[in-house]
Chains A and B, each alone.
Chain A
């Protein structure tokens, strides 16, 4: 069983819609990352969270440590937001390497 589960796996939205992507994890963590993978394959870090909420432009990320759950929200979605959004965690028992443990990703398509 994967330690990091994302939902939904695929998401299609119309331009302007509010989007939520969820991430649940089963281990204690020291941090959670949200990443964006473009169709060409490149990976960009969006947020790193260990508590609370962060906002950058139209993107908002929240985390609830007690419930082992995080959400990524996109407000006023745009076709250029189309990408795979990946949740990844650093387990708190990481053997000093701070390696990321990835979810399978949520594939988002925003249509005009």
Chain B
């Protein structure tokens, strides 16, 4: 069965460093999402992406964040200058149409020290 994959599974970085989290959505899906979950808290929406542009973003998704679909398969989330409070599990998800079931990747645990 097709699945969403994410790399790396765990990333440790120092405050102020740039990180890129990578996702490979399911191949025929058109809508892509990033969510994050700070330890012990609920999952929060960051950004959605369709047709090579951002379709919606949350207040969390400030200028430090950017997303890109550099080729036909990868979907990346970049954090330019990480802060301690960026430590969280980051989930990528994809769906084949708007409002349809979203399939989640296994997550990348980001630890900022």
Contacts and interface: CB of A to CB of B under 8 A. Distances in A.
Which of A48, A99, A104 is the most central at the interface, judged by chain B CB atoms within 10 Å of its CB? Answer: A99
Interface residues of B, number: 29
Interface residues of A, number: 27
Contacts of A43: 43, 91, 104, 107
B102 to A, nearest CB: 6
Contacts of A103: 42
Given A86-B43, A90-B99, A95-B56, A100 B104 contact: no
A29 to B, nearest CB: 10
**Interface of chain B, helix or strand or loop or mixed?**
strand
Contacts of B35: 100, 102
A32 B28 CA distance: 23
A99 B31 CA distance: 10
20 contacts: A2-B42, A31-B99, A35-B104, A41-B109, A42-B104, A43-B104, A45-B102, A45-B103, A45-B104, A88-B43, A95-B55, A96-B98, A97-B50, A98-B48, A98-B98, A100-B35, A100-B43, A102-B42, A102-B44, A103-B42
